[in-house]
Amino acid sequence: MEETKIKISSFTSLLAWREAHKLTLLTYKILPGFPDCEKFGLSDQLRRSVASISANIAEGFGRSTLKDKVHFYYIANGSLTETQNHLLVARDLKYLNNNNFKEIAEQTITTSKLINGLIKSINSKR
């Protein structure tokens, strides 16, 4: 049986990017509930790390070599892990209720699996 390859022409077509984007939106929606004293602290760190995930997937997609692509996907994965850490801190400080934490935590797991899939796919071609 012949394998069919689908050409993805935009980073927005990548499922990993779409799920990372969803994670970003979910996270941004909960940030207004954080205390004002966290405006330049945990809120800012969380905003930066979560936005970095989809941004690095997009940047990796735009790179021409497999080595460069996978490099940015690894950075996205690192930003995802940083985001998970910040979410745990926010949960433990009671800035997030359990339902919000659970929804966002599940989204981080989905996103992580997809980024790891991108990395595996590229590494298998190298």
Can you give the residue ranges of every domain in the chain? 14-125
What is the value of pTM for the model shown?
0.91
Alpha-carbon separation of residue 56 from 11, 36, 64, 74, 103 (angstroms): 10, 29, 14, 9, 23
pLDDT of 115 higher than 70: yes
**pLDDT per residue over 7-36, tens digit each?**
788 999 999 999 999 999 999 999 999 999
pLDDT more than 70, % of the chain? 94
> For the chain, what is the radius of gyration of the CA atoms?
16
End-to-end CA distance of the chain: 24
Residue 5 pLDDT = 62
Class of domain 14-125 (CATH, top level): mainly alpha
| Cβ atoms of residues 31 and 43 within 8 Å | yes
Provide the 10 A C-beta neighbour count for residue 56: 23
The chain-wide mean pLDDT, for the chain, equals: 94
| Cβ atoms of residues 109 and 81 within 8 Å | no
**pLDDT per residue over 67-96, tens digit each?**
999 999 999 999 999 999 999 999 999 999
| Cβ atoms of residues 50 and 24 within 8 Å | yes
The residue to which tokens 């850490």 are assigned: 85
